[in-house]
């Protein structure tokens, strides 16, 4: 039997454990743990869920239950190095948010939530990014792209970008 290769690195585990004193039980580490793994791997594969569950003393189904609720963590494969959240809530929609999303998806040949084949870019609809003063806007990793037009967005998304926190 081939030994299962660990997904969680020692560094990830250390980061998770460092947060343990903040909470009175281990279950509260679930969401922070998912973020720590996701920040590193750009997704949380099923095997990672098993390891997180073991680390926290939970059943894998309990962690997966929480994970899938947020509709936020990719699981099958990593999302793009740039994860572009295109806002489609009312204030951005009133100023072209839906058209922006549709344009970008078409231009990069992906469906919403899809990743380009080179693994560089994921385009996802987002609900109200809280930047309605700069609608329509896009959150690309840590950067808020303001007052976007399709052309400005294309230019921005070509730029290399630091990974998300």
Partner 1 sequence: MPTIIVDGQEIEIGADERLNCIEAARRAGKEIPHYCWHPGLSVVASCRMCLIETGSRDAATGKITMVPKLVPGCQTPVKDGTVIVTESQLVKDSRARVEEALLIDHPIDCPICDKAGECLLQDYHFQHGQAERRADLHPFTSRRRDVGPTVTLFVDRCIMCTRCVRFTREVSGTAELMVTSRGAKEEIDVFPGHPLDNKLSGNVVDLCPVGALGDKDFLYQQRVWFMKREANVCGGCSAGCSIHTEHNQDTIYRLKPRENPHVNGWWICDEGRYGWHHVHDPARIVAAGRRALTGGAFTTVEWHDVVGRLRDDLKSAGRLAVAVSPMLTVEEAWMLCAVARSIDPEAFLAVGHVPRQGADETFPGGFTIRGEKCPNRLGVEAVVALFDPAVRSWDDLVTHVRGGKANAVWITAAYPGPWLDEAAAAAFAGLDCLVVQDLFESPLTALATWQLPAAGFAERAGTWVNVAHRAQSFGQAVRPPAGVWPEGRLFWNMLGRRGLYDPDAVRRQVAESSAALVALAGEIPPHGVDLRIAQLA
Partner 2 sequence: MTTASQPVLLEAVGVPDGHTIASYRSRGGYAPLEQVLAGKQPADVIEMVKSSGLRGRGGAGFPTGLKWTFLPKDHPGPIYLCINADESEPGTFNNRILMEDDPHQVLEGIILSSYATRASTAYLYLRYEYPQSWHRLQAAIDEAYAAGYLGKNIRGSGFSLDVYLHRGAAAYICGEETGLIESLEGKRAWPRIKPPFPAIEGLFRKPTVVNNIETMACVAQIARRGVDWFKSIGVPADPNNPRDPGSYGPKLYCLSGHVEKPGCYEAPLGITARQLIDGQGGGVWKGRRAKAVIPGGISMGLMTESELDTPLDFAGPGKVGCLGLGTAAVVVIDDQTSIVDFLHNSCRFFAHESCGQCTPCREGTSWSLRMLERIKAGKGRLRDLDLLAEIGGTMGMMPGSTICGLADGAAWPIKNAIKKFRGEFEDYIKRTNPSGWMVTDPVPALQIVGAH
List of residues contacting partner 2 (CB under 8 A): 22-25, 27-32, 34-35, 56, 62, 65-66, 69-73, 85, 88-91, 93-95, 126-135, 139, 141-142, 144, 164-165
Neighbours of 112 (CB within 10 A): 14
The answer to the question of residue 157 lying near partner 1 (CB under 8 A) is no
DSSP state, 134?
A: G
Residue 30 in contact with partner 1, rule: CB under 8 A: no
Q: Which does 39 bind (CB under 5 to 8 A by kind): partner 2, partner 1, none?
A: none
Q: Contact at 8 Å (CB) between 139 and 126?
A: yes
Work out how close the CB of 60 gets to partner 1 at its nearest, in angstroms, rounded to a whole number.
4
Q: Which of 25, 71, 117, 165 binds partner 1 (CB under 8 A)?
A: 71
For residues 104 and 124, which CB has a smaller minimum distance to partner 1 in the complex? 124
Contact 88, 125 (CB under 8 A): yes
Contacts of 129 by beta carbon, 8 Å cutoff, 6+ apart? 85, 87, 89, 92, 137, 138, 139, 144
Query: Residue 34, interface with partner 1 (CB under 8 A)?
Result: no
Residue 62 within binding range of partner 1, rule CB under 8 A: yes
End-to-end CA distance of the chain: 37
Q: Is 25 in the site for partner 1 (CB under 8 A)?
A: no
């Amino acid at each position: 039997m081939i030994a299962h290769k660990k997904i969680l690195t020692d560094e990830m585990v250390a980061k998770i454990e460092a947060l343990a004193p903040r909470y009175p039980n281990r279950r509260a580490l679930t969401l922070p743990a998912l973020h720590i793994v996701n920040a590193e791997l750009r997704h949380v594969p099923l095997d990672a869920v098993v390891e997180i569950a073991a680390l926290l003393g939970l059943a894998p189904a309990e962690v997966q239950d929480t994970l899938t609720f947020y509709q936020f963590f990719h699981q099958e494969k990593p999302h793009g190095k740039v994860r572009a959240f295109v806002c489609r809530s009312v204030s951005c929609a009133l100023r072209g948010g839906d058209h922006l999303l549709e344009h970008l998806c078409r231009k990069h040949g992906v469906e919403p939530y899809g990743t380009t084949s080179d693994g560089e870019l994921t385009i996802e609809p987002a609900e109200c990014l809280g930047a309605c003063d700069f609608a329509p806007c896009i959150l690309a990793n840590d950067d808020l792209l303001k007052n976007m037009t399709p052309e400005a967005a294309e230019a921005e998304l070509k730029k290399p970008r630091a990974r998300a926190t």
